[in-house]
Structure 1
């Protein structure tokens, strides 16, 4: 099966994954993230899919396992995280992400610059969400309404999407 054929099959199934993701996560944003992560894993591991087997079941299995792994990571994380530990990373210019060679280095540099160019009020909730905080936790830590947290993260995503539009690839 060629990559294009596989991508077409996956595109046909992606709509049926969304309700299942919503059922697992009970949050629209988390469901979208789960579907996206599932699709990424499926496309990167397409060589592991056996032609003639049930693609939908294979994707559901990837989604379920991804959800379980993410859930386990979150529940193992201590609920009493010191926010000052997080804030020290925000105020430094050093990158704590392992850099790959070649193109990945350029991409990561562009992403880091785009994040650094966000205003403080948008960058802080976005980065907290990125490292695993839930909306409610962010609202409590920053002492702002949950709607404001959602809005700031939305704006940060929109600004990052615009800043990184050169990397946008439509399949």
Structure 2
């Protein structure tokens, strides 16, 4: 098979590679890269293809092996070896970052302190709503109209927002 014939055959089969690449990578850009790399490897190794065999299966095998090799390379790149007496493999991927809860603990203390500063008339419906009660359930429990419940929760939120403004996101 000449290079021109092989290129034509690759061109005919290439549209079927993208869905398989997308299934492997689960990302459009990575899938495009994988298809391109597969096509390049297939063309550069065209002499290894046996004419009369299934070109599509050969390309799928190249794609699958390329994907596995790239994945293993990525994993190896994020692994360090500790050379102390006991060897330890440390995965350095940023997906596995552990944070302590100090900031969260301080924030929760401030939130509860701010809630305690609310007048009882606002704090009680707010806390019931926070615990998952619906407006009509709070109204029944407190024996006040539903509009009053909504108003008190709104005022409580507004008050808490001003008390906790140090936690507000910075504006651009």
Provide the TM-score with structure 1 as the length reference: 0.46
Kindly indicate which of the two structures has a greater share of residues assigned to strand: 2
Provide the TM-score with structure 2 as the length reference: 0.46
Rg larger for: 2
